Structure 1
């Protein structure tokens, strides 16, 4: 059975970096508060026990002020994304734009009022978006844009917690889309990779620190490999939770994450459940 473990929303913080550019001709210093830098926004997903979760994104905006007038549009995807294809390190570029230097405090995704769906047992169901969500899903990011540097923002769209079922099998089940998203600055994260055997265990994998589940994915159904991305530096427990009840769960403790690196923990062998 799929294990509903709470994923703690984390927000990315980027330490302000001061860059000094010295001219070889006159030894002058360029003001690092002027010019432009690049903001790139990548979408990835925490898995869910559905066959597909389709979300339609109209636009992506950032804000460098405290008012509604401060929003700047960086992309207009006008596109549907199946979140469940964005696991195991897979990402989708939502947008990339040159921005004036400075701190962009918030990002928001504008979702369409319709066009969202979930597939359950081979049947596609429309997902209704509550009116409050249609005005934009806002996240605090404090992205510091500096000259000639690309700031890559990872948006983890948690499909399991974002799809809400309402009703029952007798009266009919309705599906709501109430997005749960966390944002992380890719520059201050690392990854954990590995594999699980046997493949037919079809497990979910969780990265846990201090009793909080900070990232999750599902092992590839063909070769059992997995990759957890966007993890801040630290030590984690990797919990493997099979959906096939024939096999037992397994925890690997003391798994370190280093910024900019992928720690491959090798193959986790699952034991069969004792009768």
Structure 2
């Protein structure tokens, strides 16, 4: 069987390749799929972006299902399945820094598949639970996943399975954005944010490098971003090494966000489907200067309504000519409160150079770039907001009020 070199639907555009969505049981737009002859193979793995505030985020996968129609119902004919027997319980926080959990593979008719569902097991009445979280310093708490226990977590995709070839994909499960706090109840909901990425062999779609061991902490995030949107994120290991994989081929900003350190950005980092990218020369590490920790926070609401929307809050910062995400979080769905961790201090920047033997980051000379952020707020069915936040004088209280739909 020949290895498919790169899934065609993902290669055209690096941002569209990573089909990021809020997985749900709702429908999608109708799609007419092309037909093909012969059999191909679909292989699926699972990985995770960094999580925040948890020691464990556990999910138990029963099966992965794909269909050619984006509107196919659960009981319709035409589904192909990767069945895990027994179901596999995975701590998503073990799947960072390039680590993958293999879910399995299946043969299926060649063609274009437009719907993928990830089906999770139901929780029992006692622990250990199939799906759960362990808050930092806390105890295991069930993770409520109502949609996943019926028809599965739905994703609209555009996946070509060619005859006699392997379509190899990774489900990138963003645990930080997927776990929603329910106020003081001590309960958590799972509203998954999942990205579907291609995987290749030949040592491609990989970036690796080092940050200083002093900042190799669970709160440090290294990400590859396109126009301020993280495409792949991870936390470095204890030595400072980071691995970002898989990443759609393209050119990105490499962003390092560490507590108490200014933002560091390396521009023009290339990702290829045929070779590994080393972001830092041998013997060097990214070590941003110290900054002053700040917080931007408040309450999310809708004008004239008592409903608390679930919103994604992103702290964006300008570094040289790039816009990057410093931190993101969702609000509490009961109280509406949110908090974004930022820093006051001039960010530093450097341009990627394949032949470099040293690292050379320089401070951004624009004063506003050190203290001024834009908070981008988005929620399903509501008009997105962009709000300024200046942390010169200290923490910023920033209520976010969406217009009524």
TM-score (norm 1): 0.80
Match of 2:182 in 1: 166
- Out of 190, 193, 203, the residue aligned to residue 208 of structure 2 is 193
SS in structure 1 opposite 2:140? strand
Take 1:134 and 1:9, find their aligned partners in 2: how far apart are those partners? 28
Aligned pairs for 1:112-127 within 5 A: 112-114=121-123, 115-120=130-135, 121-127=137-143
Cα RMSD over matched residues? 2.5
Verify: 1:106 aligned to 2:110, yes or no. Answer: no
Residues 242 and 186 (structure 1), Cα distance of their counterparts in 2 relative to 1, 3 Å cut: same
Match of 1:43 in 2: 46
Deviation at 1:274, TM superposition (A): 7.1
Take 1:208 and 1:85, find their aligned partners in 2: how far apart are those partners? 22
Deviation at 1:10, TM superposition (A): 2.5
Residues 123 and 261 (structure 1), Cα distance of their counterparts in 2 relative to 1, 3 Å cut: same
Contact 1:209–1:236 (Cα < 8 Å) also in 2: yes
Deviation at 1:62, TM superposition (A): 1.1
Take 1:8 and 1:200, find their aligned partners in 2: how far apart are those partners? 32
Verify: 1:83 aligned to 2:92, yes or no. Answer: yes
Match of 2:278 in 1: 264
- Out of 80, 93, 102, the residue aligned to residue 72 of structure 1 is 80
Q: How many residues align?
A: 244
Which protein has the bigger strand share? 1
- Out of 24, 43, 56, the residue aligned to residue 60 of structure 2 is 56
- Out of 128, 134, 144, the residue aligned to residue 160 of structure 2 is 144
Gaps of 5+ in 1: 1-6, 13-31
Take 1:226 and 1:54, find their aligned partners in 2: how far apart are those partners? 23
Take 1:131 and 1:60, find their aligned partners in 2: how far apart are those partners? 15
Take 2:99 and 2:214, find their aligned partners in 1: how far apart are those partners? 20
Residues 134 and 8 (structure 1), Cα distance of their counterparts in 2 relative to 1, 3 Å cut: farther
Contact 2:65–2:80 (Cα < 8 Å) also in 1: yes
Match of 2:104 in 1: 95
Deviation at 1:258, TM superposition (A): 1.4
Contact 2:236–2:242 (Cα < 8 Å) also in 1: yes
Take 2:17 and 2:49, find their aligned partners in 1: how far apart are those partners? 12
SS in structure 2 opposite 1:232? coil
Contact 2:147–2:153 (Cα < 8 Å) also in 1: no
Verify: 1:254 aligned to 2:254, yes or no. Answer: no
Match of 1:154 in 2: 170
Verify: 1:235 aligned to 2:248, yes or no. Answer: no
Contact 1:216–1:228 (Cα < 8 Å) also in 2: yes
Residues 96 and 211 (structure 1), Cα distance of their counterparts in 2 relative to 1, 3 Å cut: same
Take 2:140 and 2:194, find their aligned partners in 1: how far apart are those partners? 23
**Alpha-carbon displacement from aligned partner over 1:22-71 (angstroms, at most 9, x marks no partner):** xxxxxxxxxx9432221100111011121110001111111124533221
* Larger relative contact order (Cα-Cα within 8 Å, sequence gap ≥ 6): 1
Take 1:122 and 1:166, find their aligned partners in 2: how far apart are those partners? 16
Take 1:38 and 1:242, find their aligned partners in 2: how far apart are those partners? 41
Deviation at 1:197, TM superposition (A): 0.2
Take 1:131 and 1:102, find their aligned partners in 2: how far apart are those partners? 28
Contact 2:56–2:91 (Cα < 8 Å) also in 1: yes
**Alpha-carbon displacement from aligned partner over 1:138-157 (angstroms, at most 9, x marks no partner):** 11222222222111011100
SS in structure 1 opposite 2:211? strand
**Alpha-carbon displacement from aligned partner over 1:49-102 (angstroms, at most 9, x marks no partner):** 211100011111111245332212222251111001111111011120111211
Take 1:99 and 1:179, find their aligned partners in 2: how far apart are those partners? 26
Verify: 1:210 aligned to 2:232, yes or no. Answer: no
TM-score (norm 2): 0.56
Q: Which runs of 4+ in 1 moved over 3 A?
A: 131-134, 272-275
Gaps of 5+ in 2: 1-14, 21-34, 124-129, 294-405
Residues 201 and 35 (structure 1), Cα distance of their counterparts in 2 relative to 1, 3 Å cut: closer
